[in-house]
Amino acid sequence: MDLNDPSKHPAPAMDDLNAVLTAPSRGAVAIAAGVVAATVLYCSAQAFMKSYGPAIFTSPFFVGAVVGILSRTRPVRNALIAVGIAMGLAIFTFREGVICCLFALPLVVPEAILGGVCGATIRRHVRGVRARRAVGLALFLGAIGWGAIEGALDDPARHPVHEARTVAHIAAPPARVFAALADRQIEVAADWPWFLRIGLPMPHRLRIDHGGVGAAVTATFSQGVAKGHVTEWVPGQVLAYAIDRYAITDLPFHITRLGRGPSYGLRAERVDDWLTLASTRFVLRATAAGRETDLERVVVWRRHLAPAFYFGWLQQTIMQRGQDRLLDLIRRRVLEERGRDETPPTARPAGPSEMLARR
Protein backbone atom coordinates (compact mmCIF):
# COMPACT_ATOMS: atom_id res chain seq x y z
CA MET A 1 0.00 0.00 0.00
CA ASP A 2 1.34 3.39 -1.02
CA LEU A 3 0.80 5.73 1.94
CA ASN A 4 1.77 8.72 -0.18
CA ASP A 5 -0.94 8.12 -2.73
CA PRO A 6 -3.52 10.99 -2.33
CA SER A 7 -6.24 8.78 -3.77
CA LYS A 8 -5.96 6.49 -0.76
CA HIS A 9 -6.62 9.42 1.65
CA PRO A 10 -9.31 11.72 0.25
CA ALA A 11 -9.50 15.22 1.71
CA PRO A 12 -12.54 15.96 3.90
CA ALA A 13 -15.34 17.78 2.21
CA MET A 14 -15.70 21.52 2.88
CA ASP A 15 -19.26 20.99 4.04
CA ASP A 16 -17.98 18.68 6.77
CA LEU A 17 -15.46 21.30 7.92
CA ASN A 18 -18.09 24.03 7.97
CA ALA A 19 -20.33 21.80 10.05
CA VAL A 20 -17.58 21.44 12.67
CA LEU A 21 -15.94 24.89 12.50
CA THR A 22 -18.80 27.36 12.63
CA ALA A 23 -18.01 31.05 12.86
CA PRO A 24 -19.27 32.85 15.98
CA SER A 25 -22.49 34.75 15.58
CA ARG A 26 -22.48 38.52 15.25
CA GLY A 27 -24.15 38.78 18.66
CA ALA A 28 -21.40 36.72 20.29
CA VAL A 29 -18.76 38.95 18.72
CA ALA A 30 -20.54 42.05 20.01
CA ILE A 31 -20.78 40.58 23.52
CA ALA A 32 -17.11 39.58 23.51
CA ALA A 33 -16.15 43.10 22.41
CA GLY A 34 -18.26 44.53 25.21
CA VAL A 35 -16.58 42.34 27.81
CA VAL A 36 -13.15 43.41 26.56
CA ALA A 37 -14.23 47.07 26.61
CA ALA A 38 -15.59 46.76 30.15
CA THR A 39 -12.40 45.07 31.37
CA VAL A 40 -10.17 47.75 29.85
CA LEU A 41 -12.34 50.56 31.23
CA TYR A 42 -12.29 49.03 34.72
CA CYS A 43 -8.51 48.54 34.65
CA SER A 44 -7.90 52.07 33.39
CA ALA A 45 -10.18 53.48 36.10
CA GLN A 46 -8.25 51.56 38.76
CA ALA A 47 -5.00 52.91 37.34
CA PHE A 48 -6.02 56.57 36.91
CA MET A 49 -8.72 57.29 39.49
CA LYS A 50 -8.38 57.86 43.24
CA SER A 51 -11.98 56.98 44.14
CA TYR A 52 -15.17 55.54 42.71
CA GLY A 53 -16.29 58.65 40.85
CA PRO A 54 -18.81 59.25 38.06
CA ALA A 55 -16.44 58.04 35.34
CA ILE A 56 -16.30 54.47 36.63
CA PHE A 57 -20.03 54.23 37.28
CA THR A 58 -20.92 55.51 33.81
CA SER A 59 -18.68 52.98 32.06
CA PRO A 60 -21.65 50.55 31.55
CA PHE A 61 -23.19 53.16 29.23
CA PHE A 62 -20.10 53.19 27.00
CA VAL A 63 -19.90 49.40 27.07
CA GLY A 64 -23.56 49.20 26.06
CA ALA A 65 -22.98 51.70 23.25
CA VAL A 66 -20.08 49.67 21.85
CA VAL A 67 -22.17 46.49 21.97
CA GLY A 68 -25.14 48.27 20.39
CA ILE A 69 -23.04 49.51 17.48
CA LEU A 70 -21.73 45.99 16.78
CA SER A 71 -25.05 44.15 17.24
CA ARG A 72 -27.32 43.52 14.28
CA THR A 73 -30.16 42.39 16.53
CA ARG A 74 -31.03 42.52 20.25
CA PRO A 75 -28.56 45.25 21.22
CA VAL A 76 -30.02 45.75 24.69
CA ARG A 77 -29.91 42.06 25.54
CA ASN A 78 -26.33 41.78 24.30
CA ALA A 79 -25.32 44.86 26.28
CA LEU A 80 -26.78 43.45 29.49
CA ILE A 81 -25.07 40.10 28.92
CA ALA A 82 -21.70 41.78 28.32
CA VAL A 83 -21.98 43.92 31.45
CA GLY A 84 -23.15 40.92 33.48
CA ILE A 85 -20.17 38.83 32.35
CA ALA A 86 -17.80 41.69 33.16
CA MET A 87 -19.26 42.04 36.67
CA GLY A 88 -18.91 38.28 37.13
CA LEU A 89 -15.24 38.50 36.17
CA ALA A 90 -14.73 41.31 38.69
CA ILE A 91 -16.25 39.12 41.42
CA PHE A 92 -14.37 35.92 40.59
CA THR A 93 -11.04 37.74 40.35
CA PHE A 94 -11.71 39.28 43.80
CA ARG A 95 -11.75 42.82 42.47
CA GLU A 96 -15.28 43.50 43.66
CA GLY A 97 -17.64 41.87 46.12
CA VAL A 98 -21.07 40.43 45.45
CA ILE A 99 -22.67 43.05 47.69
CA CYS A 100 -20.76 45.84 45.95
CA CYS A 101 -22.15 44.73 42.61
CA LEU A 102 -25.68 44.37 43.97
CA PHE A 103 -25.60 47.92 45.30
CA ALA A 104 -24.36 49.15 41.91
CA LEU A 105 -27.07 47.38 39.88
CA PRO A 106 -29.62 50.24 40.08
CA LEU A 107 -27.05 52.35 38.20
CA VAL A 108 -25.43 49.71 36.01
CA VAL A 109 -28.57 48.17 34.46
CA PRO A 110 -30.24 51.40 33.23
CA GLU A 111 -26.93 52.69 31.89
CA ALA A 112 -26.27 49.48 29.96
CA ILE A 113 -29.79 49.61 28.49
CA LEU A 114 -29.42 53.26 27.52
CA GLY A 115 -26.01 52.57 25.99
CA GLY A 116 -27.39 49.68 23.95
CA VAL A 117 -30.24 51.85 22.63
CA CYS A 118 -27.85 54.67 21.72
CA GLY A 119 -25.49 52.23 20.00
CA ALA A 120 -28.34 50.73 17.99
CA THR A 121 -29.43 54.23 16.97
CA ILE A 122 -25.91 55.04 15.80
CA ARG A 123 -25.80 51.81 13.80
CA ARG A 124 -29.11 52.65 12.15
CA HIS A 125 -28.07 56.13 11.01
CA VAL A 126 -24.35 55.57 10.31
CA ARG A 127 -24.20 53.32 7.27
CA GLY A 128 -20.51 52.69 6.72
CA VAL A 129 -18.81 49.93 8.70
CA ARG A 130 -15.65 51.98 9.17
CA ALA A 131 -17.66 54.98 10.31
CA ARG A 132 -19.46 52.87 12.90
CA ARG A 133 -16.20 51.46 14.19
CA ALA A 134 -14.76 54.95 14.38
CA VAL A 135 -17.71 56.16 16.46
CA GLY A 136 -17.41 53.15 18.78
CA LEU A 137 -13.67 53.68 19.17
CA ALA A 138 -14.21 57.38 19.89
CA LEU A 139 -16.72 56.55 22.63
CA PHE A 140 -14.37 53.97 24.13
CA LEU A 141 -11.35 56.30 24.12
CA GLY A 142 -13.52 59.12 25.44
CA ALA A 143 -14.49 57.00 28.45
CA ILE A 144 -10.83 56.26 29.18
CA GLY A 145 -9.95 59.92 28.81
CA TRP A 146 -12.76 60.95 31.14
CA GLY A 147 -11.42 58.62 33.83
CA ALA A 148 -7.86 59.90 33.38
CA ILE A 149 -8.93 63.57 33.64
CA GLU A 150 -11.18 62.89 36.62
CA GLY A 151 -8.38 61.03 38.37
CA ALA A 152 -5.93 63.88 37.79
CA LEU A 153 -8.34 66.50 39.17
CA ASP A 154 -9.86 64.44 41.97
CA ASP A 155 -8.98 65.20 45.60
CA PRO A 156 -10.56 62.77 48.13
CA ALA A 157 -9.88 65.24 50.94
CA ARG A 158 -12.44 67.60 49.35
CA HIS A 159 -15.19 65.06 48.83
CA PRO A 160 -18.65 65.75 50.32
CA VAL A 161 -19.02 65.51 54.09
CA HIS A 162 -22.03 63.70 55.56
CA GLU A 163 -23.36 63.68 59.09
CA ALA A 164 -25.77 61.34 60.85
CA ARG A 165 -27.24 62.55 64.14
CA THR A 166 -29.45 60.56 66.51
CA VAL A 167 -30.79 61.35 70.00
CA ALA A 168 -32.10 58.67 72.37
CA HIS A 169 -33.86 59.46 75.65
CA ILE A 170 -32.75 57.10 78.43
CA ALA A 171 -34.40 56.92 81.85
CA ALA A 172 -31.08 56.80 83.68
CA PRO A 173 -28.66 59.46 84.99
CA PRO A 174 -25.74 60.57 82.78
CA ALA A 175 -23.17 58.88 85.04
CA ARG A 176 -24.81 55.48 84.50
CA VAL A 177 -25.11 55.99 80.75
CA PHE A 178 -21.50 57.14 80.47
CA ALA A 179 -20.37 54.11 82.47
CA ALA A 180 -22.27 51.86 80.08
CA LEU A 181 -20.40 53.45 77.17
CA ALA A 182 -16.91 53.74 78.65
CA ASP A 183 -16.40 51.45 81.64
CA ARG A 184 -17.74 48.20 80.25
CA GLN A 185 -17.68 46.53 76.88
CA ILE A 186 -20.78 47.37 74.87
CA GLU A 187 -22.37 44.34 73.26
CA VAL A 188 -25.32 44.82 70.95
CA ALA A 189 -27.67 42.13 69.79
CA ALA A 190 -27.38 40.98 66.19
CA ASP A 191 -31.07 41.61 65.44
CA TRP A 192 -30.44 44.25 62.80
CA PRO A 193 -32.93 44.76 59.94
CA TRP A 194 -32.25 42.55 56.93
CA PHE A 195 -31.43 45.47 54.61
CA LEU A 196 -28.56 46.41 56.94
CA ARG A 197 -27.28 42.89 57.59
CA ILE A 198 -26.81 42.02 53.92
CA GLY A 199 -23.20 42.78 53.19
CA LEU A 200 -22.77 45.72 55.58
CA PRO A 201 -20.48 45.83 58.63
CA MET A 202 -22.81 45.70 61.65
CA PRO A 203 -21.34 46.61 65.07
CA HIS A 204 -21.12 43.82 67.64
CA ARG A 205 -18.91 45.12 70.47
CA LEU A 206 -17.17 48.33 71.53
CA ARG A 207 -14.41 48.30 74.15
CA ILE A 208 -12.32 51.14 75.60
CA ASP A 209 -9.21 49.80 77.34
CA HIS A 210 -8.84 52.61 79.88
CA GLY A 211 -10.24 56.05 80.47
CA GLY A 212 -8.95 59.35 79.16
CA VAL A 213 -7.89 60.91 75.88
CA GLY A 214 -5.73 58.58 73.81
CA ALA A 215 -7.25 55.40 75.24
CA ALA A 216 -7.38 52.49 72.81
CA VAL A 217 -10.76 51.76 71.21
CA THR A 218 -11.64 48.39 69.70
CA ALA A 219 -14.83 48.12 67.69
CA THR A 220 -15.78 44.62 66.56
CA PHE A 221 -18.24 44.30 63.69
CA SER A 222 -19.53 41.58 61.44
CA GLN A 223 -16.63 41.70 58.97
CA GLY A 224 -13.66 42.44 61.20
CA VAL A 225 -12.22 44.76 63.84
CA ALA A 226 -11.61 48.52 63.84
CA LYS A 227 -8.84 50.01 65.98
CA GLY A 228 -8.95 53.63 67.11
CA HIS A 229 -8.30 56.03 69.98
CA VAL A 230 -10.32 58.35 72.22
CA THR A 231 -10.17 61.98 71.11
CA GLU A 232 -12.43 63.56 73.76
CA TRP A 233 -13.23 62.35 77.28
CA VAL A 234 -15.44 64.27 79.73
CA PRO A 235 -17.04 61.83 82.20
CA GLY A 236 -20.80 62.11 82.22
CA GLN A 237 -20.80 64.52 79.27
CA VAL A 238 -18.78 63.67 76.15
CA LEU A 239 -17.06 60.63 74.66
CA ALA A 240 -15.53 60.82 71.17
CA TYR A 241 -13.17 58.58 69.25
CA ALA A 242 -11.57 58.22 65.83
CA ILE A 243 -10.78 55.05 63.85
CA ASP A 244 -7.15 54.55 62.81
CA ARG A 245 -7.08 51.20 61.01
CA TYR A 246 -9.11 48.12 60.16
CA ALA A 247 -8.52 44.38 60.24
CA ILE A 248 -10.98 42.87 57.76
CA THR A 249 -12.06 39.22 57.76
CA ASP A 250 -14.23 39.18 54.65
CA LEU A 251 -15.15 35.91 53.05
CA PRO A 252 -14.17 35.31 49.40
CA PHE A 253 -16.42 37.17 46.95
CA HIS A 254 -17.60 39.38 49.83
CA ILE A 255 -15.67 42.65 50.05
CA THR A 256 -16.80 45.44 52.36
CA ARG A 257 -13.97 47.76 51.31
CA LEU A 258 -13.48 49.04 54.85
CA GLY A 259 -9.71 49.00 55.19
CA ARG A 260 -7.27 46.38 54.01
CA GLY A 261 -9.04 43.12 53.42
CA PRO A 262 -7.68 39.87 51.98
CA SER A 263 -5.91 40.72 48.74
CA TYR A 264 -5.73 37.12 47.42
CA GLY A 265 -2.53 38.09 45.62
CA LEU A 266 -4.07 41.26 44.16
CA ARG A 267 -4.23 44.87 45.35
CA ALA A 268 -5.45 45.22 48.95
CA GLU A 269 -8.59 47.28 49.43
CA ARG A 270 -8.44 50.84 50.73
CA VAL A 271 -10.62 52.59 53.26
CA ASP A 272 -11.00 55.49 50.81
CA ASP A 273 -12.92 53.33 48.36
CA TRP A 274 -16.28 53.94 50.02
CA LEU A 275 -15.92 56.51 52.79
CA THR A 276 -13.59 57.96 55.38
CA LEU A 277 -14.86 58.17 58.95
CA ALA A 278 -13.91 61.57 60.39
CA SER A 279 -15.30 61.30 63.93
CA THR A 280 -17.78 59.54 66.18
CA ARG A 281 -19.05 61.53 69.18
CA PHE A 282 -21.41 60.76 72.08
CA VAL A 283 -22.88 63.74 73.95
CA LEU A 284 -24.85 63.23 77.18
CA ARG A 285 -27.30 65.89 78.45
CA ALA A 286 -28.98 65.57 81.82
CA THR A 287 -32.77 65.98 81.97
CA ALA A 288 -35.44 65.63 84.65
CA ALA A 289 -33.19 67.13 87.33
CA GLY A 290 -30.35 64.77 86.45
CA ARG A 291 -32.37 61.57 86.70
CA GLU A 292 -32.60 61.00 82.93
CA THR A 293 -30.32 61.50 79.94
CA ASP A 294 -30.56 62.55 76.31
CA LEU A 295 -27.83 60.54 74.57
CA GLU A 296 -26.78 62.03 71.23
CA ARG A 297 -24.49 60.26 68.76
CA VAL A 298 -23.01 62.10 65.80
CA VAL A 299 -20.92 60.37 63.14
CA VAL A 300 -19.19 62.38 60.41
CA TRP A 301 -17.70 60.90 57.26
CA ARG A 302 -16.57 61.79 53.74
CA ARG A 303 -18.32 60.04 50.90
CA HIS A 304 -16.07 58.79 48.09
CA LEU A 305 -18.78 57.31 45.87
CA ALA A 306 -20.53 59.21 43.10
CA PRO A 307 -22.99 60.14 41.67
CA ALA A 308 -24.46 61.85 44.71
CA PHE A 309 -28.12 61.42 43.77
CA TYR A 310 -27.78 57.67 44.38
CA PHE A 311 -24.81 57.00 46.65
CA GLY A 312 -25.35 60.13 48.75
CA TRP A 313 -28.87 58.99 49.59
CA LEU A 314 -27.78 55.36 50.03
CA GLN A 315 -24.94 56.08 52.46
CA GLN A 316 -26.97 58.61 54.43
CA THR A 317 -29.88 56.19 54.80
CA ILE A 318 -27.71 53.25 55.83
CA MET A 319 -25.65 55.24 58.34
CA GLN A 320 -28.69 56.99 59.83
CA ARG A 321 -30.80 53.85 60.23
CA GLY A 322 -27.87 51.87 61.57
CA GLN A 323 -27.12 54.57 64.13
CA ASP A 324 -30.79 54.80 65.18
CA ARG A 325 -30.78 51.07 65.77
CA LEU A 326 -27.50 51.18 67.69
CA LEU A 327 -28.71 53.83 70.14
CA ASP A 328 -31.96 51.96 70.67
CA LEU A 329 -29.96 48.85 71.59
CA ILE A 330 -27.76 50.89 73.97
CA ARG A 331 -30.87 52.40 75.59
CA ARG A 332 -32.38 48.97 76.18
CA ARG A 333 -29.14 47.65 77.62
CA VAL A 334 -28.84 50.54 80.10
CA LEU A 335 -32.42 50.05 81.24
CA GLU A 336 -31.91 46.30 81.65
CA GLU A 337 -28.80 46.87 83.78
CA ARG A 338 -30.61 49.47 85.85
CA GLY A 339 -33.49 47.08 86.40
CA ARG A 340 -31.14 44.33 87.59
CA ASP A 341 -29.34 46.71 89.98
CA GLU A 342 -32.58 48.01 91.49
CA THR A 343 -34.23 44.60 91.92
CA PRO A 344 -33.96 43.54 95.58
CA PRO A 345 -32.35 40.15 96.20
CA THR A 346 -34.77 37.27 96.58
CA ALA A 347 -35.27 36.18 100.19
CA ARG A 348 -33.41 32.94 100.91
CA PRO A 349 -35.24 30.27 102.92
CA ALA A 350 -33.87 29.90 106.43
CA GLY A 351 -31.64 26.90 107.01
CA PRO A 352 -31.95 24.43 109.88
CA SER A 353 -29.31 26.18 112.00
CA GLU A 354 -31.04 29.53 111.58
CA MET A 355 -34.41 28.05 112.59
CA LEU A 356 -32.89 26.57 115.72
CA ALA A 357 -31.25 29.90 116.61
CA ARG A 358 -34.58 31.70 116.29
CA ARG A 359 -36.17 29.30 118.78
Q: Which fold has domain 156-341?
A: Alpha-D-Glucose-1,6-Bisphosphate; Chain A, domain 4 (3.30.530)
Q: Which helix (H) or strand (E) holds 358?
A: helix 352-358
Residue 149: how many CA atoms within 13 Å on its side-chain side?
8
Closest C-alpha among 342, 255, 329, 250 to residue 291? 342
Helix residue ranges per DSSP H, 126-239: 129-153, 174-182, 194-197
Q: What is the pLDDT of residue 253?
A: 56
The reported pLDDT for the residue numbered 269 is 44
State the chain's mean pLDDT as an integer.
80
pLDDT above 70 covers a percentage of the chain that reads 76
pLDDT band at 357 (very low <50, low <70, confident <90, very high): very low
- Residue 325 sits at the vertex; the CA angle it makes with 313 and 97, to the nearest 5 degrees, is 55
Q: What is the DSSP string of 158-191?
A: GSPEEEEEEEEEESS-HHHHHHHHHTS-EE--S-
pLDDT in tens, 138-148: 999 999 999 99
pLDDT at position 356, please? 38
Q: What's the pLDDT tens digit per position in 206-255?
A: 888 877 899 999 888 777 788 889 999 999 999 999 988 877 666 655 55
- Contact assessment for residue 290 and residue 256, using Cβ atoms and an 8 Å cutoff: no
Give me the pLDDT at residue 189, please: 66
Report the candidate in 303, 310, 256, 273 with the shortest Cα–Cα distance to residue 105: 310
> For residues 46 and 198, which has the higher predicted lDDT (pLDDT)?
46
The predicted structure's pLDDT at residue 238: 94
State yes or no: pLDDT of 166 exceeds 60: yes
Give me the pLDDT at residue 211, please.
76
Give the pLDDT score at 45.
87
Structure pTM? 0.73
Question: Each residue of 342-351: pLDDT tens digit?
Answer: 665 554 455 4
The answer on pLDDT for 150 being more than 70 is yes
**Sign of the torsion formed by the C-alpha atoms of 49, 53, 55 and 60:** positive
Integer Cα distance of 50 and 151 in angstroms:
6
Read off the pLDDT of residues 296-309 as tens digits, 9 standing for 90 and up: 999 999 888 888 88
Identify the pLDDT of residue 292: 92
Please tell me the predicted confidence (pLDDT) of residue 349: 53
Q: Are 67 and 82 in contact (CB under 8 A)?
A: yes
> So what's the pLDDT on residue 193?
65
pLDDT of 355 over the 90 cut: no
pLDDT in tens, 104-137: 899 999 999 999 999 999 999 988 888 988 999 9
pLDDT at 277 over 70: yes
Contact 248, 269 (CB under 8 A): yes
Q: For the chain, what percent of residues have pLDDT higher than 90? A: 36
